[in-house]
Amino acid sequence: MQDAPSVDPGGPDEWFATIGDISVSQYWISTPVGQFPIRGTVWTVTDMSTTEEHFPTAAIVLAILFTLVCLLGLVILFLMKKVRQVGFVQVTVQGDGFCYTTGIPVTHPQDVLAINDEVEYARELAAQLT
């Protein structure tokens, strides 16, 4: 029978993830305001970004030219459409006697997914110790 993992009394052994300015190890989290045990922490992610779609000027010019020549203007617009993420994702970690929030700027929809994956990993580490 295995014993439940115990909290390491020493400092962090290895940082497994970095979420904005929060670093996560197996037993600890480190923020600019201090180092705290990861055991019992609650993580919250709030997506405060928006997705913008825009067409570069060259795409509009080419669409007009190709519409006049061979009716491919809409295809050109579709192929040259740019999608970008604007804003930030807010990550909050709460534990025994502390609460820390960080804002992480995002520029692509994949950035939001990556931050959610990192937070989910931190949640899993915290859950292993409860």
pLDDT tens digits along 3-14:
444 444 455 568
Could you give the 3-state DSSP secondary structure of residue 8?
A: coil
Q: What is the pLDDT of residues 23-76, one digit of tens each?
A: 999 999 999 999 999 999 999 999 999 988 888 888 888 888 877 777 677 777
Q: Look at residue 92 in the predicted model and tell me its pLDDT.
A: 97
- What is the per-residue pLDDT for 108? 87
The token duo for 104 is 């992480």
Question: Tell me, what's the pLDDT at 7?
Answer: 47
pLDDT at 5: 44
Mean pLDDT of 98-124: 95
Q: What is the DSSP string of 70-123?
A: HS-HHHHHHHH-EEEEEEEEEEEEEETTEEEEEEEE-SSHHHHHHHHHHHHHHH
63-103 pLDDT, tens digit each? 888 777 776 777 777 788 888 889 999 999 999 999 999 99
